[in-house]
């Protein structure tokens, strides 16, 4: 007994969308509570940091190349390079290092 | 006042590197989807309307195990729960009286990366920007999925390996500039790296799915930093105020 695959996909997409708009449906104005405001201030940086490491080291064939890409990307972003440049520098680092590793 | 069209084009430009990163990740998603019995058209369609990496991996895998729709919905809720937090963070930036339609449109564009660039952009989140980014990025996500399904093993592993770093490079480009300006953010990023690494190896926590580990760590670390280093009100609204004069 298998479900129609397109129905399955639509349900998957709809459930995902509900998570995206859940806050939009509830919130009518900014929340004043200082703790909650501070909490939300940190959320994006923490989430993205958690997703980046150690995943970046595990994504490449050689963990060393991933670690080098991490350092190169951090340095490039620290010295003011934009989104695209940082991403490309990371890719190039892996491409070059994996020639040798 | 910013012009809608210009903001849309800005979002579109910012969405392109995201799309390139998506393309690489979607390719590996496609390789997995083929193993679970999805055709290229089904994979394309799924990616076009779902655009959620971890969620889709999970969804494709579940399909192969003859799951029920109720189980599917429950798992999507859990694995995508971080989108709720991101939605709160975006809505927090919108003034009282913002129409529900605007809130829904902005929310509908949430992916990890689009959220990242939207929250990093000064000013009130606007659907023009988020849709610009979405329209640049999601077709590449869908195309990558379809190509991964049809020609999974054609690209050399070295190329896939290099491309897979692009996404993380973008994350880093979003979090590092504010970390440089603000010691508390720098601390939060450092602690996040350390605990994320530890959680992969710790007993119990390491058995959680990656999505659940992410949300657990996000809540704990953000709450601790909010308690220890609460923001001044000006800090939080600075993004919103910056663009209004």
**A86 reaches B (C-beta below 8 A):** yes
Structure tokens at B115: 């959220």
Q: What is the ipTM of this complex?
A: 0.85
Interface touch B172/A18, C-beta < 8 Å: no
**In A, which residues are within 8 Å of B17 by CB distance?**
83-84, 87-88
State residue B198's pLDDT score: 95
A91 near A68, Cβ under 8 Å? no
Q: What are phi and psi of B165, to 5 degrees?
A: -80, -20
- Rounded to whole angstroms, the Cα distance separating B62 from B87 reads 26
Tell the residue number behind the tokens 């937090």, with chain if given.
B85
Chain A partners within 8 Å of B210 (Cβ): 55
Decide: B104 and A18 in contact? Cβ < 8 Å: no
φ, ψ of residue B235 to 5 degrees: the values are -55, -45
Q: How confident is the model at residue B233 (pLDDT cuts 50, 70, 90)?
A: low
Q: Is B237's pLDDT higher than 70? A: no
Mutation target vs B (from A10, A50, A81; most B CBs, 10 A cutoff): A50
Which whole number is the average pLDDT over B120-143? 96
Tens digits of residue pLDDT in B143-198: 999 998 998 767 788 887 887 788 788 889 889 999 999 999 999 999 999 999 99
Tell me if A7 sits within 8 A of B198, measured CB to CB: no
| Helix, strand, or coil (residue B243) | coil
Tens digits of per-residue pLDDT, B114-128?
998 898 899 999 999
Q: How far is CA B63 from the centre of its chain?
A: 23
Q: Which residues of chain B have a CB within 8 Å of the CB of A51?
A: 112, 168, 171, 196, 214
B3 vs chain A: nearest CA distance in angstroms? 23
Mean pLDDT, each 10-residue run in order, chain A (101 residues): 87 97 93 88 88 89 95 97 87 93 81
Is the pLDDT higher at B58 or at B73?
Answer: B73
Q: Does A59 touch chain B (CB under 8 A)?
A: yes
CB-closest option in A2, A20, A54 to B87: A20
Say whether residue A71 is in contact with chain B using an 8 A CB cutoff.
no
pLDDT band (50, 70, 90) for residue B240:
very low
Work out the pLDDT band at B1, boundaries 50, 70, 90.
low
- pLDDT computed for residue B244 by the predictor: 27
Of A90-94, A96-100, B79-83, B134-138, the poorest mean pLDDT is in B79-83
Mean pLDDT on B71-76: 87
Mean pLDDT of B67-93: 88
CB pairs under 8 A between A and B: 304
Contact A83 B173 (CB under 8 A): yes
What pLDDT is stored for residue A95 in this prediction?
Answer: 94
Tell me which of A1, A11, A13 to substitute to probe the interface with B (most B C-beta atoms closer than 10 Å): A13
Closest B-chain CA to A87: B169
> Shortest CA distance to A89 belongs to which of A75, A58, A99?
A75
Chain B CB contacts of A17 under 8 Å are 108
**Number of other residues whose CB lies within 10 A of the CB of residue B62:** 18
CA-based Rg of chain A, rounded to a whole angstrom? 20
pLDDT band at B93 (very low <50, low <70, confident <90, very high): very high
Provide the sign of the torsion angle of the four alpha carbons A14, B12, B89, B51, taken in this order.
positive
Cβ-Cβ contacts under 8 Å for A49 (sequence gap 6 or more)? B171, B175, B188, B189, B192, B193, B196
Q: How confident is the model at residue B69 (pLDDT cuts 50, 70, 90)?
A: very high
Q: Are B36 and B63 in contact (CB under 8 A)?
A: yes
């Amino acid at each position: 007994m298998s479900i129609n695959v397109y129905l399955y996909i639509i349900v998957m997409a709809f459930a995902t969308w509900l998570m995206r708009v859940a806050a939009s449906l509830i919130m009518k104005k900014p929340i004043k509570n200082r703790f909650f405001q501070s909490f939300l201030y940190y959320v994006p940086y923490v989430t993205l940091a958690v997703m980046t490491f150690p995943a970046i080291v595990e994504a490449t064939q050689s963990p060393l190349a991933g670690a080098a890409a991490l350092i190169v990307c951090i340095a490039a972003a620290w010295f003011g390079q934009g989104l695209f440049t940082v991403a490309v520098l990371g890719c190039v680092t892996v491409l070059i290092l994996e020639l040798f590793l | 006042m910013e012009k809608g069209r210009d903001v849309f084009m800005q979002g579109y430009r910012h969405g392109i590197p995201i799309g390139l990163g998506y393309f690489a990740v979607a390719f590996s998603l496609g390789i997995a989807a083929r193993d679970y019995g999805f055709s290229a058209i089904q994979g394309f369609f799924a990616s076009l309307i779902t655009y959620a990496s971890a969620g889709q991996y999970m969804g494709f895998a579940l399909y192969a195990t003859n799951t029920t729709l109720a189980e599917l919905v429950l798992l999507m809720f859990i694995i995508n729960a971080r989108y709720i937090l991101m939605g709160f963070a975006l809505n927090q930036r919108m003034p009282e009286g913002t129409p529900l339609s605007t809130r829904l449109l902005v929310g509908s564009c949430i992916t990890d990366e689009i959220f990242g660039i939207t929250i990093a952009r000064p000013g009130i989140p606007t659907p023009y920007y988020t849709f610009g980014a979405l329209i640049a990025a999601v077709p590449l996500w869908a195309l990558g999925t379809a190509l991964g399904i049809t020609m999974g093993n054609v690209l050399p592993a070295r190329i896939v390996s290099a491309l897979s770093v692009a996404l993380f490079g973008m994350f880093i480009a979003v979090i590092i500039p504010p970390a440089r300006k603000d010691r508390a953010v720098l601390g939060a990023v450092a602690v996040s790296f350390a605990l994320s690494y530890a959680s992969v190896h710790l007993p119990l926590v390491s058995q959680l799915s990656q999505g659940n580990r992410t949300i657990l760590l996000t809540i704990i670390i953000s709450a601790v930093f909010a308690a220890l280093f609460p923001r001044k009100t000006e800090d939080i609204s600075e993004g919103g105020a910056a663009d209004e004069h």
